[in-house]
């Protein structure tokens, strides 16, 4: 009985299905348009093609064991030289340089060697005079290379076919700034990390910022409110007669600690230059720009802050000023980016890095002053095998762009030095756009030294009369410089 009941129940459940199956399908209209083909509800994802490794696209060549000899200047105690490495030692910059040089040695059958010196320009001159093929490339300070270039001892880099100055491993700012009438005798690229180290930088003490309850500089920078006026407000808020003795001395608090050359860093950061390069129908020429209205306005603001001894310590005058920042007795500190390791080694509390302030919010961009003592690369005119030199140099620069700059910037600066993501972001802004001011590059013109003496004594006043006194000598020096470049063959 139970089995019969179960059978009837199953039949009742199957009845609707059996009925549906017995219904006829509707007849198709012969005049109707054909039904569209079914489409997928989800579009197929595009196939992403993997970009080829640019190192694999380098040109093939075999230079038969030729010597690629690098001469590198070591006239500084704060920069990192990234030209040669003897062995793997477990330090990322050293090891990356070793691997880079080994890569080009194997790919092009060359022998990469390096020599360090404090007399690079003298060695170039000696080699050129003797007609020697002693150095493939030389790395030396920009201000030291200018007279060497004018004396005709350096190759025009535009004549090296392998060089691609549009490539990211060349510093486009340096290429543009150092090209005179279509000739380029030295430029910066990623082979040497001093292109980064040579940037001026602005640091701030997080301890002083917190004690004074000041606004976060990172937010001010991001919102493009970081100006000379805002910097001045923060400096005045930080400065005080901390030890209460009524005398300016080492025990007081200050708004800024800096070196004498950093007046220019602030002027450049505000978008102005003391000497500019102009392109005219008659050719390139330099113009003395110190009396231009925007330069005068910026100089007045900068000198009012740096000449005020209650706000600023110039370490050239008061060497104890370094300790003022190290011990959180100053809000700001300006020095080369290469000095950041010294700060980390000497400061107990955290510090941050920010770009230089704009002249006003309308400026709309940040720029960093490049030290005239930053290193650039050149090729002595007596170097023989330009095909080998160009090919190997370009490969080294490309490799450095992919690995060495990452090792330095991401690991040494962002990893070991920067303690937060904010500083990482600020470093990107700081090194993004660099300004070369010819007033320091062409040091023999004495423009900046004379300008500095004037503004330390008079601030931004009487710059028109200062420029008038300088103009005759300046014009003579410019004419001599342009003529010297013109006499150099291609």
Residue 141, helix vs strand vs coil: strand
Is the overall model pTM greater than 0.75, yes or no? yes
**Pairs from 172-180 (Cβ < 8 Å, separation ≥ 24):** 173/370, 173/433, 173/434, 173/435, 173/436, 174/370, 174/376, 174/434, 174/436, 177/277, 177/436, 178/142, 178/376, 178/436, 180/277, 180/284, 180/482, 180/485
Q: Which of 318, 323, 329 is nearest to 205 (CA)?
A: 329
CB atoms within 10 A of CB 53: 9
Tell me how far apart the alpha carbons of residues 201 and 334 are, in angstroms, rounded to a whole number.
6
Q: Specify the DSSP element, H or E, that contains 100.
A: helix 92-108
Q: Which CATH number fits domain 200-369+439-487: 3.90.1720.10, 3.40.190.10, 3.30.1490.20, 3.40.50.1820?
A: 3.40.190.10
**Integer Cα distance of 459 and 296 in angstroms:** 9
DSSP E strands: which ranges in 338-411? 351-354, 368-369, 375-378
Q: Where are the domains of the chain?
A: 58-197+373-417, 200-369+439-487
* DSSP conformational letter for 27: P
Q: How far apart are CA 183 and CA 146, in angstroms?
A: 13
Across 472-486, b (16+ Cβ under 10 Å) vs e yields eebeebbeebbebbe
- Helix spans in 131-246 (H): 142-150, 172-178, 194-197, 206-211, 217-222, 228-238
Paired strand residues for 137: 70
The structural architecture, per CATH, of the domain 58-197+373-417 is: 3-Layer(aba) Sandwich (3.40)
What pLDDT shows up at residue 338? 85
Distance CA 203, CA 256 (A): 10
Please determine whether the domains at 58-197+373-417 and 200-369+439-487 fall in the same fold group of CATH. Answer: yes
Distance between start and end Cα atoms, the chain: 113
Compute the distance between CA of residue 238 and CA of residue 253 in angstroms, rounded to an integer.
7
Q: What is the spatial distance between Cα 425 and Cα 68, in angstroms, rounded to a whole number?
A: 37
d(CA 433, CA 199): 10
d(CA 348, CA 451): 37
Where does residue 246 fall: left (phi above 0), alpha (psi -120 to 50 degrees), or beta otherwise?
Answer: left
pLDDT of residue 98: 97
DSSP 265-298: HHHHHTT--SEEEEEETTEEEEEE-TTSHHHHHH
Q: Give dist(CA 490, CA 471) in Å, integer.
A: 31
Q: State how far the Cα of 97 lies from the Cα of 89, in Å rounded to an integer.
A: 11
Rounded Cα gap, residues 455 and 287, in angstroms: 20
Give the model's pLDDT for residue 471: 95
Please tell me the predicted confidence (pLDDT) of residue 48. Answer: 62
pLDDT string in tens for the chain (490-residue length): 433 344 333 334 444 433 444 444 444 444 444 444 444 444 555 656 677 888 988 999 999 999 999 999 988 666 677 888 999 999 999 999 999 999 999 999 999 999 999 999 999 999 999 999 999 999 999 999 999 999 999 999 999 999 999 999 999 999 999 999 999 999 999 999 988 888 999 999 999 999 999 999 999 999 999 999 999 999 999 999 999 898 898 989 999 999 988 999 999 999 999 999 999 999 999 999 999 999 999 999 999 999 999 999 999 889 888 899 999 999 999 998 888 888 888 888 999 999 999 999 999 999 999 989 889 999 999 999 999 999 999 999 999 999 999 999 888 888 888 778 898 899 999 998 999 999 999 988 999 999 999 999 999 999 999 999 999 999 999 999 999 999 997 7
305 Cβ partners below 8 Å, 6+ apart? 228, 231, 232, 235, 255, 256, 311, 312
């Amino acid at each position: 009985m139970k089995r019969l009941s179960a059978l009837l129940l199953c039949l009742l459940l199957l009845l609707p299905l059996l009925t549906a199956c017995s219904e006829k399908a509707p007849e198709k209209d012969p005049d109707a348009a054909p039904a569209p083909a079914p489409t997928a509800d989800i579009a197929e994802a595009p196939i992403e093609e993997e970009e080829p490794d640019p190192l694999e696209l380098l040109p093939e060549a075999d230079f038969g064991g030729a010597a690629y000899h690098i001469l590198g200047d070591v006239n500084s105690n704060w920069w990192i030289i990234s030209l040669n490495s003897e062995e793997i030692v477990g330090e990322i910059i050293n090891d990356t340089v070793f691997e880079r040089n080994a890569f080009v040695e194997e790919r092009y059958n060359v022998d990469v060697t390096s020599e360090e010196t404090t007399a690079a320009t003298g060695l170039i001159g000696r080699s050129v005079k003797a007609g020697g093929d002693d150095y493939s490339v030389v790395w030396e300070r920009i201000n030291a290379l200018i007279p060497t270039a004018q004396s005709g001892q350096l190759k025009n880099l535009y004549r090296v076919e392998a060089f691609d100055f549009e490539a990211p491993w060349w510093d486009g700012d340096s290429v543009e700034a150092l090209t005179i009438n279509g000739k380029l005798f030295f430029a910066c690229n990623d082979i040497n990390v001093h292109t980064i180290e040579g940037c001026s930088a602005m640091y701030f003490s997080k301890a002083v910022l917190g004690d004074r309850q000041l606004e976060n500089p990172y937010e001010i920078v991001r919102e493009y409110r970081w100006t000379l006026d805002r910097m001045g407000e923060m400096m005045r808020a930080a400065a005080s007669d901390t030890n209460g003795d009524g005398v300016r001395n080492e025990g007081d608090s200050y708004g800024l600690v800096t070196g004498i050359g950093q007046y220019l860093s602030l002027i450049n950061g505000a978008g102005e230059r003391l000497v500019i390069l102009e392109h005219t129908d008659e050719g390139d020429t330099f113009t003395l720009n110190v009396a231009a209205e925007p330069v005068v306005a910026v100089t007045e603001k900068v000198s009012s802050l740096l000449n005020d001894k209650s706000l600023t310590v110039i370490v050239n005058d008061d060497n104890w000023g370094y300790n003022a920042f190290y011990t959180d007795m100053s809000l700001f500190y300006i020095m080369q980016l290469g000095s950041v390791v010294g700060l980390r080694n000497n400061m107990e509390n955290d510090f941050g890095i920010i770009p230089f302030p704009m002249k006003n919010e309308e400026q709309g961009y940040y720029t960093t002053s490049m030290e005239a003592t930053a290193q650039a690369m050149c090729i002595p005119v007596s170097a023989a095998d330009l095909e080998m030199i160009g090919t190997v140099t370009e490969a080294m620069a490309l490799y450095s762009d992919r690995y060495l700059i990452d090792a330095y910037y991401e690991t040494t600066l962002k990893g070991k030095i920067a303690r937060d993501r904010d500083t990482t972001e600020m470093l990107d802004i700081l090194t993004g756009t660099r300004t070369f001011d010819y007033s320091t590059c062409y040091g023999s013109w004495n423009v900046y030294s004379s300008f500095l003496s004037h503004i330390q004594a008079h601030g931004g006043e009487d710059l028109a009369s200062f420029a008038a006194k300088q103009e005759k000598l300046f014009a003579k020096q410019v004419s001599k410089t342009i003529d010297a470049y013109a006499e150099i063959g291609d």
